[in-house]
Structure 1
């Protein structure tokens, strides 16, 4: 069962993603919050970021680093690839 702290953490995550988003948009991309559970944040890159060969570097050394600094409850940030149906 999800508690108040979980929802507060999700709100903090979304707030931090909003601060990261303008730089990604400037480069033709974006980021989408997918899920947060058990210390793991899942995000999806959109636009140019979804196809960028360097997105794993952006994820690890920009997004994950910044999120973990601001929100210690987040232990890891993973990318969820967009599936084509």
Structure 2
């Protein structure tokens, strides 16, 4: 059975997003390839020190229970562009 993005979004909507929203965050699906799901946390959850715990204890748990065929759920992190701009200004003595 092929797992669709709509099915994944449905589980995230029902089981994951309400908890993330309570903390001012969300999760977006980046890709599902070769039974590996890549997700990114957004909002206040993006870059949070507990992001990996959130992925392991909430996202991975719910997705794995709903879709045993998904072998891995990878949390893709990136630095906030505003934070990078601020860091460059500090390093260049512009602040």
Length-normalised TM-score, structure 1: 0.82
* Alignment map for 1:1-85 (pairs within 5 Å): 5-6=1-2, 8-19=3-14, 20-82=16-78, 84=81
Whether the 8 Å CA contact 1:31–1:46 is kept in 2: the answer is yes
Length-normalised TM-score, structure 2: 0.75
Whether the 8 Å CA contact 2:36–2:74 is kept in 1: the answer is yes
- Structure with the bigger percentage of helix: 1
Look at both structures and tell me which one has the larger radius of gyration over its CA atoms: 2
**1:14-48 alpha-carbon deviations (Å, 9 max, x no partner):** 11111211110111111111110111001110011
Q: For CA contacts below 8 A with separation 6 or more, give which structure has more relative contact order.
A: 1
Q: What RMSD in Å do the two structures reach over aligned CA positions?
A: 1.7
**Unpaired segments of 5 or more residues in structure 1?**
none
Q: Which runs of 4+ in 1 moved over 4 A?
A: none
Q: Separation in 1 of the partners of 2:78 and 2:8?
A: 20
